[in-house]
Amino acid sequence: MKLYNSVTEKKEDFAPLNKKRVLIYVCGITPYNTTHLGHAFTYISFDVLIRYLRYLGYEVSYTQNVTDIDDDILKKAAEQNTSWKELGSFWTKKFQEDMKLLNILTPTNFVKATNSIEKIIKMVNTLLKKGFAYQRDGNVYFETRKFKDYGELSHLNSYLMLRFLKERGGDPFDPLKKNPLDFLLWQQSKQGEPLWHSPWGGGRPGWHIECSAMINEYLGDKIDIHGGGIDIKYPHHESEIAQSESYTGKKPFVSYWVHTGTVLYQGEKMAKSLGNLIMLSDLFKKYSLNAIRFALLSHHYRSPWEYKESEFVRAEESFCSIRKAIEKNSETKFDKNNPHFKEIISFLDDDLCVTKVLQKLTELSKLESGSLGNKKESSFGGTIKKTLEILGFAI
């Protein structure tokens, strides 16, 4: 199996740290308004990866986080005159319900950032003692100049880093920073904001350190696969590498960085901040759950794509045809040595090319229905059914 590694920018043979077990972490939601199509694309993509790894015989330990304390949550809670905890709990539950409807596997560990405060404080304290961080006015910052490989993942120069940092919620103009690219590990809470006691005063963790702490706590110093959307490669994932490797002294922190492509709508990245969202709750009213999964998997996980309703209409028709093909010959036994199934496996082994798999299933369903070729050759029900199972369709 080959996976595209964002660090090397090429496909690499997959070789986990442990021959029998794979450690995966995927960045989760900030629960203040979920779940849109961009979320669904990311989590369905990793769902297929995890299912396929398990099919190959690996035990998979999968951790996904919830960023339940964040500037956006506090802002939205204030707007709605509710508590940040109630807001986060409501949208976290809604997200879990949506994932269950889409037949997405439940993570081994589904954890909240606020449950790892003790670990976060320990990591920040260690980074200070090692000289990778500094304290100013109750804030603690990671000093990026102390980590020589900062930028290795994103492949960005300082100018582009500053530009993206500003666009993605960072503050390069913070006067307390030594360097505009330095980032918060711990921030002093403002009046009325939630706080936790620390050696640096009452405050709350920075965004990046939350994920590093949860990974270290639930998976260890080094993991096989770290995933998330391409939009958080910098600054989030870049900063995770710096603080995690500085904390443990071990490199690489992650063997394979896997990023999903951007989902667009109306010419812009689909984002809560822009409000150009296609919500899953609206799609559920129009299309079957399998059709939604089919439409999303029709795009390679690394490719950017734009939402078009016509794709979901076609996906409904395509999956209906595939289901009919299975029903027509439901007694067909599965044979893993079937040349068609071997071809399907070769597609999955090639950086999880599910798009080609779906094209193959469509072709086989037509053969099965007798619309192409000799009907005597129509014996693909077992292959189709097993493939759908691997891809996470509910059949």
Q: What is the pLDDT of residues 254-272, one digit of tens each?
A: 999 999 999 999 888 887 6
In a domain, 191, yes or no: no
Residue 330's pLDDT is 61
Angle at 366 between CA 364 and CA 368, to 5 degrees: 70
> Do 216 and 360 belong to one domain?
no
d(CA 366, CA 360): 10
In a domain, 43, yes or no: yes
In the structure encoding, which two tokens stand for residue 219, read together? Answer: 């998976």
> Do 337 and 255 belong to one domain?
no
In a domain, 60, yes or no: yes
Q: What residue numbers bound the domain in which 346 lies?
A: 290-298+308-390
CB atoms within 10 A of CB 231: 17
d(CA 202, CA 66): 22
Angle at 391 between CA 386 and CA 393, to 5 degrees: 85
Angstrom distances, CA of residue 175 to CA of 159, 179, 180, 238: 18, 9, 9, 22
> Do 19 and 158 belong to one domain?
yes
Indicate the angle between helix axes 381-390 and 37-55, nearest 10 degrees: 120
pTM of the complete model: 0.94
**pLDDT tens across 61-110, in order?**
999 999 999 999 999 999 999 999 999 999 999 999 999 999 999 999 99
In the structure encoding, which two tokens stand for residue 73, read together? Answer: 């949550």
d(CA 99, CA 85): 21
> Do 236 and 375 belong to one domain?
no
**pLDDT tens across 229-256, in order?**
999 999 999 999 999 999 999 999 999 9
In the structure encoding, which two tokens stand for residue 8, read together? Answer: 């090397």
CB atoms within 10 A of CB 373: 10
Nearest to 124 by CA among 235, 230, 204: 204
**Residue type, position 70, single letter:** D
In a domain, 276, yes or no: no
> Do 89 and 215 belong to one domain?
yes
In a domain, 274, yes or no: no
> Do 256 and 317 belong to one domain?
no
Say which residues have a Cβ less than 8 Å from residue 269's Cβ, sequence separation at least 6. Answer: 38, 231, 262, 263
> What residues are paired with 203 via a beta bridge?
188, 196
> Do 150 and 232 belong to one domain?
yes
Instruction: At 343, give phi and psi (nearest 5°).
Output: -65, -40
> Do 35 and 83 belong to one domain?
yes
In a domain, 273, yes or no: no
Domains held by the chain: number: 2
Q: What is the CATH number of the domain that holds 26?
A: 3.40.50.620
In a domain, 120, yes or no: yes
b/e string for 254-280 if b means 16 or more Cβ within 10 A? bbbbbbbbbbbbeeebbbbeeebbbeb
> Do 256 and 358 belong to one domain?
no
Say which residues have a Cβ less than 8 Å from residue 190's Cβ, sequence separation at least 6. Answer: none
> Do 51 and 158 belong to one domain?
yes
Residue 331's pLDDT is 59
> What residues are paired with 269 via a beta bridge?
264
CB atoms within 10 A of CB 148: 9
133-136 vs 109-112, strand pairing mode: unpaired
In a domain, 190, yes or no: no
Angstrom distances, CA of residue 93 to CA of 28, 88, 110, 213, 228: 13, 9, 12, 23, 20
> Do 258 and 319 belong to one domain?
no
> What residues are paired with 24 via a beta bridge?
62, 225
> Do 102 and 211 belong to one domain?
yes
d(CA 62, CA 57): 15
List the chain pLDDT tens, one digit each, 395 residues: 999 999 999 999 999 999 999 999 999 999 998 789 999 999 999 999 999 999 999 999 999 999 999 999 999 999 999 999 999 999 999 999 999 999 999 999 999 999 999 999 999 999 999 999 999 999 999 999 999 999 999 999 999 999 999 888 789 999 999 999 999 999 999 999 999 999 999 999 999 999 999 999 999 999 999 999 999 999 999 999 999 999 999 999 999 999 999 999 988 888 766 677 899 999 999 999 999 999 999 999 999 999 999 999 999 999 999 998 888 766 567 888 889 999 999 999 999 999 999 999 999 988 876 644 444 444 688 899 999 999 999 98
Nearest to 227 by CA among 68, 18, 391, 53: 53
Angstrom distances, CA of residue 265 to CA of 197, 262, 271, 279, 305: 42, 10, 9, 12, 9
d(CA 289, CA 380): 23
Residue 367's pLDDT is 81
- Reported as type and span, the H/E element at residue 187 is strand 183-188
